[in-house]
Structure 1
Amino acid sequence: MTKDQLYRKLNEVNATRACRHQYATLVLNEPDLFRPLMEILFMVNDKTSCKAAWVFEFVCAEQLALIIPQLNYFSENITKVHLDSAVRPVSKVCLFIVEAYFSKTENSIKSNLTSSHKAQIIEACFNWMISDQKVAPKVYAMTSLFLLGKELQWVHSELVSILEKDFSSQSAGFKAKARHIMQKLT
């Protein structure tokens, strides 16, 4: 399947879990489609990029190792994603990557995630934290930043500042996660 054919297929995707899973299975069965899926995802002004992001999240949830050869491409482009429906899955994939990196279980992310990748994920996460995003991307971002701050202490300092500043104006979900993280940091 070509990138153009995949693009046309993605236009059939809807937000149901079953549909997203069906198209993720298509990519998992043809791993050569992973890069074209990411290229469509990073067509950030095209509404189809959101559908690609939904499928991308499901693919990464099933087989995160597929992202390893694409870590440079992924990390270089995540800050460009701006449509709400694409930001949430991309922020969740960032969390998948960070959780794998800090996992006690050996995995290939640990040996392939560079300081440059981490810096780009940190930048994206802080951008999501301070911009007008929905609660889910902010929660995924704050969790990623909390974990990354274990290696880079300055991240915790900045995260605490943002959480304290924004706490009163945020949703109940944001406040619950922020309280949890603040308890761990103090």
Structure 2
Amino acid sequence: MTTDQLYAELNYVDHSRANRLKYANLILEQPELIPELLSIVFKVDDKTSCKAAWILEFVCSENLEAFIPYLELFTENIYRVHLDSAVRPVAKICEYLTKAYYSKTEETVLKVLSDSHKDLIITACFDWMISDEKVATKAYSMNTLYLFGQDFDWIHPELTLILERDFHRQSAGFKARARQILTKIKKEYE
């Protein structure tokens, strides 16, 4: 399947979980399509990029290892994604990668996630935290940053400042996640 054919197929993607899973399985059956899917995700001004991002999120949730060979391409371009419906799944993928990195069972991610990848993910997450993004994107970002804060001493103080500063201006969902993250951070420093 070419990029153009995949692009045409994405017209049939909708919000339903079953539909997104169907197309994610199509990609997982033909993992050589992952770079094609990524090229559509990074057509950042095209609304179809959102649908491609939804599918990529499902691909990563089902089989993160299939995505690993494309980490470089992904991390070098995540900063470009700006449409709300695409940013959320990209932030979720960052969280998947970070959780896998700190997991005791996902050795593949531990071996391949380089300092450069981490820096690009951290930068994107902080950018999403300080910009006008939806709550889900911020929630995934704060969790990702919290986890990376285990290895980078400067992250937790910066994240704490942002969470405390924005706490009273944000939604109930933001406040709930922020409260959880702040509690975890405070426990580490007691």
State TM-score, norm by structure 1: 0.98
- Corresponding residue for 1:31? 31
Q: 1:177 to 1:109 in 2, by over 3 A?
A: same
| Matched residue type, 2:82 | H
1:81 aligns with 2:81: yes
- Corresponding residue for 2:65? 65
- Corresponding residue for 1:125? 125
- Corresponding residue for 1:96? 96
State TM-score, norm by structure 2: 0.96
Residues 78-108 of structure 1, C-alpha deviation per residue, up to 9 Å, x if partnerless? 0100000001100000000000000011421
| Matched residue type, 2:113 | L
- Corresponding residue for 2:13? 13
Residues 10-57 of structure 1, C-alpha deviation per residue, up to 9 Å, x if partnerless? 111111111101110110111110110011001000000000001000
SS at match of 2:181: helix
1:42 aligns with 2:42: yes
Residues 48-82 of structure 1, C-alpha deviation per residue, up to 9 Å, x if partnerless? 00000010000000010122111111000001000
Q: Residues of 2 paired with 1:53 and 1:11: CA distance?
A: 13
| Runs of at least 5 residues in structure 2 that lack an aligned partner in the other structure | none
1:155 aligns with 2:159: no
Q: Residues of 2 paired with 1:104 and 1:26: CA distance?
A: 29
Q: 1:148 to 1:12 in 2, by over 3 A?
A: same
The percentage of counterpart residues that share the same residue type is 56
- In the alignment of these two chains, the number of paired residues is 186
Residues 98-131 of structure 1, C-alpha deviation per residue, up to 9 Å, x if partnerless? 0000001142100000000000000000011011
- Corresponding residue for 2:164? 164
| Matched residue type, 1:104 | K
Q: Residues of 2 paired with 1:129 and 1:183: CA distance?
A: 18
**Structure 1 runs of 4+ off > 2 angstroms?**
none
- Corresponding residue for 1:112? 112
Q: Residues of 2 paired with 1:15 and 1:94: CA distance?
A: 21
Q: Residues of 1 paired with 2:11 and 2:80: CA distance?
A: 21
